A and B are shown apart, each in its own frame.
Chain A
């Protein structure tokens, strides 16, 4: 028992763990911590389910995010810390992406990876608040709304399974991509 305690203390004190770069850290926040302008935008959409608010800290920026489920789809609305609307992301199926756009995405991904699997697809709307509001309410367009697609894929690279996030334009061109650092889940596996 004494030796086990000593081992536990030694490991607790050591700092030899490898540092992992995380894409983002989400912390739940209360409604009263959310900027009023962001609250007003969400109220105007008239979501029926509960809105959960998060503060998301990424590598280069921190933002406020509202998450909810609406009409059987996951919605994520991102704001700056001041409450300025950044984008709206909605979970969709691969089949919801126009075929021509998906063919271009597939062409690129197939050239990068021998084989890949799609883990998650989101449609991203970017534009002025009034334009996005009309888009979300299925009303007549009140301004230009840019459409992007975010794909999370799983691929085997050099015999190792990896996760990547790709942001494609409406035409299937890559706007941004990066590897997702998968969190360690040893404590529920062993």
Chain B
């Protein structure tokens, strides 16, 4: 809880700084999950960022649609307990005509409580590109699914998906911390089809420089086959 308050404090104080930059855009994603025998699962994700506006907070800016990047990732996971799983995968990023690769390792614990579900995700990734040094990241994300009716989310019901993530990154001996907050409204068409809409807010560079704020309107489709 203290970490959460620290995050909110950092976000609030960072707005007060001059020269804070912002980026606003849309971030649709398609998430497909395929169950395999013996508690193995494959997760495919396609995510694309489109910028609508960017600049400095204290300066006026115009709307300008600009395609930024597309990520395609594949994760293979294995349940190691009824509520715990390990995942390994790879992400390919296409941005400015360049291809970047990222290897991913994840440990996920999902716990059901009366009235909500909590998921802890500890993740490490390494990003490789030709032009820059390898970026190493260690991430922790807490997500919760809160039904808007009853004690669990049933088909044809709305829910809230709240997430808070802390990303530590190290690249060329430079450390940075990024904090993400994601309040989303979801609708479960059936257990295998869910649609979420909300804001994905990210802040970074606030430890040593002027912070960078990024606001993405997220539209996520989850499909299990």
Residues of A within 8 A of B (CB): 1, 4-5, 7-8, 11-12, 16-18, 20, 22, 25-28, 54, 67, 74, 117, 119, 154, 159-163, 182-190
Instruction: Decide yes or no whether B221 CB sits under 8 A from chain A.
Output: yes
Query: Closest Cβ of chain B: how far from A41's Cβ, in Å?
Result: 21
Query: Closest Cβ of chain B: how far from A97's Cβ, in Å?
Result: 21
Contact with B150, one of A8, A27, A74, A154 (Cβ below 8 angstroms): A27
Interface string of B162-196 (1 = CB under 8 A from A): 01000000000000000000000010001111111
- A10 and B85 CA atoms in complex are apart in Å by 30
> B132-157: which residues lie under 8 A (CB-CB) from chain A?
143-145, 149-155
Report whether B33 and A188 are in contact in the complex, using a CB–CB cutoff of 8 Å. Answer: no
Q: List 26 A-B contacts (CB under 8 A).
A: A1-B48, A1-B67, A4-B48, A11-B193, A12-B195, A16-B225, A18-B225, A22-B191, A26-B150, A28-B149, A54-B151, A160-B39, A160-B79, A163-B82, A183-B152, A183-B153, A184-B192, A185-B119, A186-B33, A187-B31, A187-B194, A188-B110, A188-B143, A188-B163, A190-B43, A190-B45
> With contacts A11-B221, A74-B114, A187-B196 known, is A4 near B30, CB below 8 A?
yes
> With contacts A17-B192, A26-B150 known, is A185 near B110, CB below 8 A?
yes
Instruction: Decide yes or no whether B161 CB sits under 8 A from chain A.
Output: yes
- A18 and B223 CA atoms in complex are apart in Å by 11
- A5 and B50 CA atoms in complex are apart in Å by 13
Query: Closest Cβ of chain A: how far from B208's Cβ, in Å?
Result: 32
Residue pairs across A and B with CB atoms within 8 Å: the count is: 118
Report whether A160 and B192 are in contact in the complex, using a CB–CB cutoff of 8 Å. Answer: no
- A187 and B48 CA atoms in complex are apart in Å by 18
Contact with B191, one of A5, A20, A28 (Cβ below 8 angstroms): A20
Query: Closest Cβ of chain B: how far from A174's Cβ, in Å?
Result: 21
- A8 and B37 CA atoms in complex are apart in Å by 27
- A145 and B150 CA atoms in complex are apart in Å by 30
Query: Closest Cβ of chain B: how far from A87's Cβ, in Å?
Result: 18
Query: Closest Cβ of chain A: how far from B151's Cβ, in Å?
Result: 5
Query: Closest Cβ of chain A: how far from B139's Cβ, in Å?
Result: 13
